[in-house]
Structure 1
Amino acid sequence: LTALATCQLIVEAIVENLSIKQELFKSLQSICAKDTLFASNTSSISITAIASVLDKPENMIGLHFFNPAPVMKLVEVIAGFRSSEKQLDLGSRLCHFWHKIPVIAQSSPGFIVNRVARPFYGEALKMLQEGVTKTECIDVLMQSAGFRMGPFSLMDLIGIDINLAVSKTVYASMYNDPRYRPSLIQEEMVAANMLGKKTGQGFYAYHDQKEKPDVAYEPRRTAAKYVSLNLDKQLLADIAKNIKASKHFVVTEHEAGACIQVGECAVLLSNGQTCDQRLQSLPYKHLAQLDLMLDYERCEIIHLAFDSGCDQQTREHIIGMFQLLHKKVMLAQDLPGLVVMRTVCMLINEAADAIENGVCSENDVDLAMQKGVNYPIGLLQWANVLGYAQVVEVLENLQQWFGDDRYRVSPWLRKKC
């Protein structure tokens, strides 16, 4: 360590163990100048706790790089409880000098990215355990919605053991908040040494270049000829415009009600209720609910569910309608929130709560999720597109259905409404 005596900046990237990191920095402070900037690349350990052994804890910050570090632009600059503004500013300026994008986060479990991203994995695992659908279906839906990788493919790439370890750390650090509850499925997979790509078997098999399982889409159906549209509705406006522009349909327009109506069946974006539940308060005989997509014009898949009483002909007419718009159709069980809507609203809620609790700014949370984990747009930007009231409604309906506090709405979202 004596070779580091003249260094002005020392970045530590050793094993994720608090006591070992503390011992290292205790040794370094006895060797280095009093104004040396100490930084840890930890992904989850408290910067305040690491700095507690230093005579000058104000010289300690976090510089959390993302893998692969030469490629990924984001660096989380972490402020411990006693980190000085001078050293935090120096850390940010160094990031700019390295052509990186810094975001400021307070020292708290998971910082920004590892905290806000928990529902991307946690909700997928919970849906798998509930039997909502298969891993490959969830993955292709999230990709169709705009994410670069699905949660199960990404967990296989990261390593099931590593993903579980981060979940456990955040869960314990958050005093067992149910929003961060680790998955029993991952526990079993780690016990079975099914850790993902590195062991050849995770949620998918990687032996002998084996292909991932095929996703079952609906076969070609006869489309509805007559469709009624409300073009003033914003959320499904792109689909409505494509239907109107298509030569395949005879279109009429109505001024109130659902954006799309086929016969006695309304087609609406999911609000976090089942179709059967929601239909009780609507003036329609039948209901089809669509899953969320970021861009309905460009997405490849339409994921939808029908109420239990909807007749087969109406179902086929609506499925066929989307197929004529060059979409693959995946039929879902009538479950609350479907897949993408449920996951994205949970991600938005987590981003909102990070802001509410002073972890980061609105700008930095969106920047972090785009540059750190390649989200298609910022989560608050997505909330603005969807509408904050819609996000709150979905979360409230999920909480009512499951009776689980993991779906509680962040006060920050309520204020935005």
Structure 2
Amino acid sequence: MRFNLAVLGAGTMGIGIAEVAAAHGCRVKLYDIDSNAVKAAIDGLSLRLDKRIEKGKIDDADKQAVLGHITSVNDLAELKGSELVIEAVVESLSVKQDLFKQLEQICDKNTLLASNTSSISITAIAAVLTHPERVLGLHFFNPAPVMKLVEVVAGLKTDQAVLKQATEWMREWGKIPVRAQSTPGFIVNRVARPFYGEALKIKQEQLADVHHLDAALKEAAGFRMGPFSLMDLIGIDVNYQVSQTVYKAMFNDPRYRPSLLQSEMVAAGLLGRKSGRGFYSYHQKDSEQASPFLSSQKQLPNQIQLNPSEHPFEQLLSPFKTVCAVTSGSLNQVGETVLFQTVGHRAESLAQQLKKPVCLVDWSFDYSHAEAVNLCFSTDVSDNDKNHIMALFQHIGKQVLVTEDSPGMINARVMSMLINEAADAVFNGVASAQDVDLAMRYGTNYPQGLIDYAGQIGWQNPASVLTELYQWFGDDRYRLSPYIRRQL
């Protein structure tokens, strides 16, 4: 459906949204308080479209169609007749409220008024209007022409018909719309907080350095980027500001507590790629980083014992059959050492209970395609068993990380916190389980929805990890969501 649209703000998000709408035949009016910014944005879009022509993705007719659908306007009064207005201006409640009050006087009574805000309450924006029922959030993700997800956010007074219409338009634009209530961080910025916050806490506890943590969560768990390289890319100051905003808006709930380490980084001006140094250095002379992976072990055991179960963890170990002799048993055992997938217990505690040496294996979204495994050992594991275990994994194509023994290791700890946050968002009515999973897959490129993954591995596993963390730290940030309790 082609309709009249206005976009306010000619920054990166504004011109990106305008491009998406124009590419789908909508007539777009682009406004910015700085008229030069509009011209610069359209010129920049023209150059980007030229690059797409060079790559054979579009032709000149496509480019001209997109540009032809975007009109620069210099006065808000020219927005009259728009069926949808999307603002993408500075993240300030007062600025947005003033702008929407002007729009309410200019636009027709049936015009939908949308904000692209990532963190400000839609209810608060609409509160100053005579007709708050037509105000909603349409939170696009950067870059808007590429990222599929759009959070369709309802304020307390938003009309359901408005949400339905906006959702239909987003689908017509080829987007994946998810419904969310106006709560701090909506879905993605709320649920994703532990990916950064818990990794920062593990680093601050000196359990692992940033190279090790990034490698565990990227190569072993399966996230597209590690949290520290991602924070450097986003900007440590930007990520810290979002964390502060969500924490304050959630009335200082310890689950969202910002990191002191991150605060210090911002104070020191170590902001990531844009400052040349963050958690990593981006100066050429400092570009080589020590690998966190252990060197290759060549010594394989003559025989091992495997549990023939179809559980994903046992499937990880199944390829061992191709490199050494295997017998069947109730435990997975190499020499004297028993291998378990971690469910939060320390290796040392399990070894004392079993009176056997223990090797724990960290979590992965997909063990079969993971490039690495993250292990930890109880203190009584012999060097011979350690070498055999590492050699087995390396012979089936996995790089090996070894982490200090601590509850939840790295991946299980971070992933359980993410699952808990996703579950709590569903429990508190922020969004449906399906929309939470869609949001995290398409808004953050997680390899699998968190609710879906928890169901696959069994809800008792993240519950066990969180319980162990709560007992170990005595910190309410690890309290178990009632949604998870209901699944047990």
Q: Give the TM-score category using the shorter length.
A: over 0.9
Within the alignment, does 1:409 sit opposite 2:480 as a pair? yes
Relative to structure 1, the CA distance from residue 380 to residue 395 in structure 2 (aligned partners, 3 Å threshold; closer, same or farther) is same
Shift of 1:9: 1.1
Asked if 1:240 is matched to 2:317, the reply is: yes
Q: Identity over the aligned pairs, expressed in percent?
A: 50
> 1-side partners of 2:171 and 2:163: how far apart?
13
Q: 1:212 to 1:295 in 2, by over 3 A?
A: farther
Backbone CA RMSD of aligned residues: 1.3
**Counterpart check, 1:363 vs 2:438:** no
* Distance (Å, rounded) in 2 between the aligned partners of 1:250 and 1:208: 48
| Pair 1:231 & 2:308 matched | yes
Kept in 1: contact 2:211–2:292 (CA 8 A)? no
Q: Conserved in 1, the CA contact under 8 Å of 2:91 and 2:117?
A: yes
DSSP-derived class of the 1:346 partner: helix
Mapping for residues 210-221 of structure 1, pairs under 5 Å: 210-211=286-287, 213-221=289-297
Give the letter aligned to residue 317 of structure 1: H
Partner amino acid for 1:184? L
Q: Any conservation in 2 of the 1:235–1:269 contact (CA below 8 Å)?
A: no
Query: Which of 162, 175, 190 is the aligned partner of 1:100?
Result: 175
Structure 2: unaligned runs, 5 residues or longer: 1-75
| Runs of 4+ more than 6 Å apart | none
Q: CA-to-partner distance for each residue in 1:361-387, whole Å, 9 max, x for gaps?
A: 011001000111100011112112221
Give the partner amino acid of 1:414.
R
Compare CA radii of gyration and give the structure with the larger one.
2
In the other structure, the counterpart of 2:276 is: 200
Deviation at 1:240, TM superposition (A): 2.8
Q: What CA distance in whole angstroms lies between the structure 2 residues aligned with 1:84 and 1:281?
A: 58
- 1:196-217 deviations in whole A, cap 9, x for unaligned? 1111111111123853513232
* Aligned partner of residue 360 in structure 1, secondary structure: coil
Q: Distance in 2 between matches of 1:304 and 1:179?
A: 27
Q: Which residue in the other structure is 2:127 paired with? A: 52
Shift of 1:280: 3.1
* Structure 1: gaps (5+ residues): none
1:17-416 matched pairs, under 5 angstroms? 17-144=92-219, 145-208=221-284, 210-211=286-287, 213-221=289-297, 222-232=299-309, 234-244=311-321, 246=322, 248-254=323-329, 256=330, 258=331, 260-282=332-354, 284-416=355-487
CA contact (8 A) 1:269 1:289 kept: yes
Instruction: Letter of the 2:478 partner, please give it.
Output: Y
Matched-pair contact (CA < 8 Å) for 1:136–1:212: no
Deviation at 1:273, TM superposition (A): 1.6
Q: Structure 1 length normalisation: TM-score?
A: 0.96
**Counterparts in 2 of 1:209 and 1:103: CA distance versus 1, 3 Å:** farther
CA contact (8 A) 1:123 1:343 kept: yes
Matches of 1:17 and 1:379, distance apart in 2: 32
Q: 1:367-416, CA deviations, whole angstroms, 9 ceiling, x for partnerless residues?
A: 00011110001111211222111111111011111111111111101111
The alignment partner of 2:200 has SS state of helix
Deviation by residue 1:23-80 (Cα, 9 ceiling, x = unmatched): 1111111122222110000000000000000100001000000000011010000000
Aligned partners of 1:193, 1:307: CA distance in 2, in Å?
A: 40
Which is worse superposed, 291-300 or 115-124?
Answer: 291-300
Question: What amino acid does structure 2 have at the position aligned with 1:64?
Answer: H
**SS of residue matched to 2:353:** coil
Q: Which range is displaced more, 316-325 or 87-96? A: 316-325
- Length, aligned pairs only: 411
Q: Distance in 2 between matches of 1:146 and 1:265?
A: 26
Aligned residues of 2:337 and 2:357 also touching (Cα < 8 A):
yes
Q: Could you tell me how far apart the structure 2 residues matched to 1:30 and 1:239 are? A: 62
**Which amino acid letter does the alignment assign opposite residue 80 of structure 2?**
A
Letter paired with 1:220? S
Contact 2:101/2:128 (8 A) holds in 1: yes
- What SS does the corresponding residue of 1:280 show, helix, strand or coil? helix
How many Å separate the matches in 1 of 2:232 and 2:373? 26
